[in-house]
Every structure is written in C-alpha cells, then in structure tokens.
Amino acid sequence: MDVAVIGSGLIGQAWAIVFARAGYGVRLWDGDAQARARAVELIAGQARMLVQQGLLDDADGLSARVRVCDTLAQSLEGVAYVQENLPEKPELKREIFRQMDALAAAGTVLASSTSSIPASVFTEDLPGRGRCLVAHPVNPPYLIPVVELCGAPWTDAATIEAARRIQSGAGQKPVIVHRELEGFVLNRLQGALLREAFRLVQDGTITVEDLDVTVKDGLGLRWVFMGPFETIDLNAPGGVADYCTRYGGMYASIAQEQRDCERWPDDTVHEVERQRREQLPESELLQRRLWRDQRLMSLLRHKRQAEAETPPKD
C-alpha cells in the first residue's frame, strides 16, 4: 500500500519513517525543494540510528521505500492515505486540504498532523469533507506510537475506521477522540499535570528538580506500562470502584484548591526557567534531546521484549 506524506519538516520526516518502516510505499512532497532534499538525508540518518539501537533491521530498505515527488499531484497518485504536515496555520491547512481534496482519488483518506486545529476549521467547505480527519502524533511518532484520531462532525465513520486500520498496520497505537476539543486528549492530560506542577513550584511546596523526580521516579514508572485507570484499579483490594470509595473524598478535597484556570504566572515561569537552566544550560538542550531519544529507544526495546514474553490473555 502507498501513502503520501505532505510537508517534510520534523513531523513529516518522522511519519515517513513510521510508514516506510512498516513496508508501506511513501510518497513525500514539500513545497520547498531544498526541504525535500534535506528530508531524505535526515530520514536516512534516523534510520541508521534505529538500526544501531536494534529497532530496525534494514535502513537502506526503509529509505528505498521513500520516494520524493516534485509536485503535490504526483505525490497523491494512487495513495490510500495522506498525512499532512504543514506549519500550524489554519489558512495553510485550509488551502492544502482544498488542493488535496481536488487532486486525490475518491476514497483516499486525508489526515492532518495538526496539534491544535480541529478538522472542522479547514474542511467545512470541501466536497470530500467526509474523508478528512486529524491524526495527531506525538513527537517523534516512530518512537512514541500513540496517535489521536479526531474527525469533524461530518467525518465519515468509515474514514475514522480506515485511518485506524492504516495506522495500526504501521505499528502505531491509534486512539479515537469522539468530539472536537482543544488540545485533543494527550495535551489536556499533560496540561492538567503541568497546571498542578506550576502551582506547587509557585507556592514553594517543591523545587523543579524534585517535582520532576516525583514524576520520572514515581508516577511515570507505572504509566509506562499502565494508564491511570489501570493504576488505580490495581491500587485498592476491590479494584477501581473500591479505590474511588476509599480515596474519592481526598481527591475531591484537593480539587477544591485546583479550580483556577489562569495562564501560568510569568514570575513562576521565570523561576522554573531559572531552576532548569541551573540544571541544564541552554547550550546543552540539543544534546539532551538526543539523550531523550536514545532513552526512548531503549525503553521501546524493553517494552517490545516484555510484551513478547507476556502470555496472551485468553
């Protein structure tokens, strides 16, 4: 099966790796010819890194499945699925979806990687609006498999199902978001945690460093394998309902203190920045991002091995 990746920046390159790694033929197009050429090099480099990490067998095979196209029309020829990755501007999304809907064969699914713009904003007037949706990845999608699928009110159920099937076939973990809302689900969860984290630093309860330890050496260890619902299901003898009976009152009481919905205060942001830069100078951010990606790769290897060793449920 062939898919198209439209826009070959950071996320477009990563999607090309996801689909080509799964054996799909990838047609890659970007409005900037230099960006297209750069992307090919960067994809090949990332593929070599995945091989070094034991997460991929054949870097050249992956690269060979990515074909760069000179025009948008060429890239859409005969593809079952399109993943669009232009910058996060509604007018750009509107225009590229208008062109893609006019050019792509009937039945081709058109998905956007947008982090925040609902599909209804850029698909409303299209004749083929029923085949459009958002498929929101987490960066980089070849290491973090969840992808949030969210249609506009007029997106066909068959479109969502086709996107789910194609993403699963590429090794991703699609989740369905059943209504349009700002930030979809992942960023809303992250926002809820960040809101409390900023508050706790702001009132002097904890340092930035210790807050991070609380998540990475506490909550986060469980969350790598279980979501929060499974976590609480296992944390009371009678399961999740028992947990809610035992601890619901405490969480309700805490929630009374968590009602504000202001922006994070500037002085708190400055304080968090000051403490972070003490731990990690700005000049070392890039190096640390590479370190993060290596850690993710090791983790992914471990998860794959653990899943292979776990007997299937009957």
Ligand X SMILES: NC(=O)c1ccc[n+]([C@@H]2O[C@H](COP(=O)([O-])OP(=O)(O)OC[C@H]3O[C@@H](n4cnc5c(N)ncnc54)[C@H](O)[C@@H]3O)[C@@H](O)[C@H]2O)c1
Residues that bind ligand X (CB under 6 A): 7-12, 30-32, 35, 85-88, 92, 113-115, 136-137, 139
Which residue, among 22, 15, 70, has the nearest Cα to 43 in the 3D structure? 15
Select 24 or 97, whichever has its Cβ closest to ligand X.
97
Rounded least distance, CB 301 to ligand X, Å: 23
Instruction: Output 117 or 160, the one with its CB closest to ligand X.
Output: 117
Q: How far apart are CB 254 and ligand X at their closest, in Å?
A: 31
| CB 114 within 8 Å of CB 87 | no
To ligand X, the closest distance from the beta carbon of 41 in angstroms equals: 13
CA–CA dist 243, 231 (Å, integer):
10
Q: What is the DSSP letter of 155?
A: -
| Closest by Cα among 96, 84, 114 to 15 | 84
Residue with nearest beta carbon to ligand X:
9
The residue (of 94 and 222) whose beta carbon lies closer to ligand X is: 94
Strand partners, 176: 149
Q: Which of residues 30 and 101 has its CB atom nearest to ligand X in the complex?
A: 30
Min dist. Cβ of residue 9 to ligand X (A): 2
Smallest separation (angstroms) from ligand X to the CB of 48: 21
Alpha helices in 176-261 (DSSP H): 186-202, 208-214, 220-223, 228-233, 240-256
- Token pair in block for residue 196: 């409390």
Closer CB to ligand X, 79 or 232, in the complex: 79
